[in-house]
């Protein structure tokens, strides 16, 4: 995939899937805007990638910060063609009777409202220029309940519906909206899940998780015409046929 001349903004770019996606998009020739709350981490990653990367500290739970991040991306790179809504959180993991309502709401602010903020801000740029690609990291948790994850399951189900809504309202305007459900990935989030000891996912062995590099490669693939059959829907890396199409081992 040659993305030379394209600009991609990635939320949650400080580590895990987001950081690997930044490296993969840069390797494909794209300019990248690294968005995360951890200014130091994204600055280090931007230094690693080089002049094609810019670090933009941002809390996606606040719309005005996302709007400023998009403007900073335009100032640095002159365009915005692809957005990867990757930022997400799962802590604190707790059953509903034990969950702290404020902490529960913070997960919704990031995982659901943050996705909407990224979509809304991107549309202000993409619609006038005739289109763009907006990808969102989904989850199997969008489709079924997982003990201790009421906030995560609800937010991921909502984020998938936002992808469907984006496609419903803007496909004819040139917006490509797709969700990616990667399965379990070897990232810090899985360490948090493991430590909780709640539900079968926490019992998985580390070797059961796929590497974040696979997810990054899938995201780059989803920017091409071969993924158009998934517009308004979801690409699942649990599907061996999808892995083969993406070129994953």
Q: Which residues are catalytic?
A: 152
Q: Are 152 and 141 in contact (CB under 8 A)?
A: yes
The number of C-alpha atoms within 13 Å of 108 and in the hemisphere containing its C-beta is 10
In angstroms, the Cα distances linking 96 to 37, 143, 152 are 27, 18, 12
Q: Which residue has the tokens 């990867």?
A: 84
Residue 142 CB neighbour total at 10 angstroms: 20
Ramachandran class of 133: left when φ > 0, alpha when ψ lies in -120 to 50, beta otherwise: beta
Q: How many helices (H) and strands (E) does the chain have?
A: 9, 7
Write down the residue that tokens 């930044």 correspond to: 22
52 CB contacts (<8 Å, ≥6 apart)?
26, 30, 31, 32
- Could you give the 3-state DSSP secondary structure of residue 21? helix
Backbone phi, psi, residue 130, to 5°: 100, 10
114 membership: H or E segment, kind and range: helix 114-129
């Amino acid at each position: 995939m040659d993305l030379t001349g394209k600009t991609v903004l990635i939320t949650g770019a400080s580590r895990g899937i987001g950081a690997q996606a930044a490296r993969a998009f840069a390797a494909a020739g794209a300019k990248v805007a690294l968005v995360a709350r951890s200014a130091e981490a994204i600055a280090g990653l931007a230094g690693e990638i080089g002049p094609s990367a810019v670090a933009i500290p941002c809390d996606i739970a606040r719309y005005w910060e996302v709007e400023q991040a998009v403007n900073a991306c335009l100032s640095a790179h002159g365009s915005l063609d692809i957005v990867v809504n990757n930022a997400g959180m799962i802590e604190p993991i707790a059953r509903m009777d034990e969950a702290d309502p404020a902490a529960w709401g913070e997960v919704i602010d990031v995982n659901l409202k943050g996705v909407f903020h990224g979509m809304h801000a991107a549309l202000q740029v993409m619609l006038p220029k005739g289109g763009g690609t907006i990808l969102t990291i989904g989850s199997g948790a969008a489709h079924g309940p997982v003990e201790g994850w009421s906030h995560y399951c609800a937010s991921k189900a909502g984020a998938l519906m936002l992808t469907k809504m984006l496609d419903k309202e803007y496909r004819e305007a040139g917006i490509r909206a797709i969700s990616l459900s990667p399965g379990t990935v070897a990232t810090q989030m899985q360490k948090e899940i493991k430590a909780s000891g709640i539900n079968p996912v926490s019992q998985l062995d580390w070797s059961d998780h796929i590497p974040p590099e696979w997810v990054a490669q899938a995201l780059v693939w989803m920017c091409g015409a071969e993924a158009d059959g998934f517009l308004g829907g979801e690409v699942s890396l649990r599907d061996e046929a999808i892995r083969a199409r993406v070129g994953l081992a």
